């Protein structure tokens, strides 16, 4: 008994107790598993027993079936059924007779599709109307073209150019090159005449000459300028003083500085500075 409570061996006492505990745990697990297995087996055995009781109820049900089969032979009702069958046969014959009039109606309705056949031809006619409309529509812009003429040029966007000699002599004719350009970016109309353009020459504050005194050489024109397009002409000055009606003054110009200025309405004026020798 001493070896039971106090293990003896080459190893420590705790080691033997641990081994005994492990064996005990395994034994308990085996017993518990066996108990679960036994209970499951018993439930499996008891489960099928209940459905086994159900089959006896089924055989009881077929028992009345033979009782039903005995009254089932009803040859007498069959002749009875034949008698009503003969009766409905007569209504059946009447029903087809009733259906015959509807059969005649479809025959009358058959001509009805001929009406849609007649309505089909008018459909091409409407299709022709839009075609004629499309053909006529391009003519409308053509009629609008006269009303869509370019507007008058914005004079603040006109570019005036003036070129001429820097050295001139009294009484010797001088030609200036005048240009007008369209910087508005769109097509526009421009009128160049004595009311819109002037080329004048001053010496200090003394007005020497102007195109308003003589319109010879002034190209009075109605212009249509594309964007960036220029119109130019030559304007003559005879290096003298003008007095109106294209008449020249008797006074001979003296040597000095003379300034030619080209002005087109509100456009930026341009100048050419000249030295005149008398």
pLDDT digits (tens, 9 = 90+) for 70-94: 444 454 444 444 444 433 444 433 4
How confident is the model over 10-36, as pLDDT tens digits? 777 788 788 889 999 999 999 998 988
Average pLDDT over all residues of the chain: 72
Residues ≥6 apart with Cβ < 8 Å to 275: 166, 167, 168, 255, 256, 257, 258
d(CA 169, CA 191): 33
pLDDT of 174 reads 94
Phi-psi region of 13 (alpha: psi -120 to 50; beta: other; left: phi over 0): alpha
CATH homologous superfamily of 155-277 equals: Immunoglobulins (2.60.40.10)
Per-residue pLDDT, 166: 97
**What was the pLDDT predicted at 188?**
95
pLDDT at 3: 61
- What pLDDT is stored for residue 7 in this prediction? 65
pLDDT in tens, 98-147: 444 444 444 444 444 444 444 444 454 443 333 322 322 233 333 333 45
Q: What are the residue ranges spanned by the domains of the chain?
A: 1-84, 155-277
pLDDT in tens, 243-259: 888 787 778 899 999 99
Per-residue model confidence (pLDDT) at position 247? 80
Residue 178 has pLDDT above 90, yes or no: yes
- Which pLDDT belongs to residue 59? 44
- pLDDT for res 89: 42
Averaged pLDDT for residues 212-241: 88
What is the average per-residue pLDDT within 205-214? Answer: 92
Q: Using alpha carbons only, what angle is made at residue 217 by residues 215 and 221, rounded to the nearest 5 degrees?
A: 85
pLDDT at 161 over 60: yes
Within 13 Å of residue 54, how many CA atoms lie on the same side as its CB? 5
């Amino acid at each position: 008994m001493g070896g039971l409570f106090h293990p003896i061996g080459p190893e420590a006492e705790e080691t033997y107790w641990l081994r005994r505990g492990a064996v005990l745990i395994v034994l308990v697990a085996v017993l518990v598993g066996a108990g679960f297995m036994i209970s499951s087996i018993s439930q499996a055995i008891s489960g099928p027993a209940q459905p086994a009781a159900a089959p006896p109820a089924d055989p009881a049900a077929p028992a009345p079936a033979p009782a039903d089969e005995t009254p089932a032979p009803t040859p007498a009702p069959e002749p009875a059924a034949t008698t009503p069958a003969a009766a409905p046969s007569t209504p059946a014959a009447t029903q087809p007779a009733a259906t015959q009039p509807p059969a005649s109606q479809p025959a009358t309705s058959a001509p009805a599709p001929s009406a849609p056949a007649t309505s089909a031809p008018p459909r091409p006619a409407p299709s022709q109307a839009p075609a004629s409309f499309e053909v006529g529509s391009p003519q409308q812009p053509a009629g609008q073209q006269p009303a869509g003429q370019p507007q008058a040029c914005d004079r603040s966007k006109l570019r005036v150019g003036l070129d001429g000699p820097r050295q001139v002599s009294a009484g010797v004719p001088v030609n200036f090159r005048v240009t007008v350009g369209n910087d508005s970016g769109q097509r526009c109309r421009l009128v160049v005449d004595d009311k819109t353009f002037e080329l004048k020459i001053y010496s200090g504050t003394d007005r020497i000459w102007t195109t308003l005194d003589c319109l010879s050489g002034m190209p009075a024109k109605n212009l249509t300028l594309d964007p960036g397009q220029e119109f130019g002409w030559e304007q003559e000055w005879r290096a003298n003083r003008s007095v109106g009606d294209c008449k020249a003054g008797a006074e001979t110009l003296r040597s000095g500085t003379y300034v030619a200025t080209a002005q087109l309405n509100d456009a930026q004026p341009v100048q050419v500075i000249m030295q005149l020798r008398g």
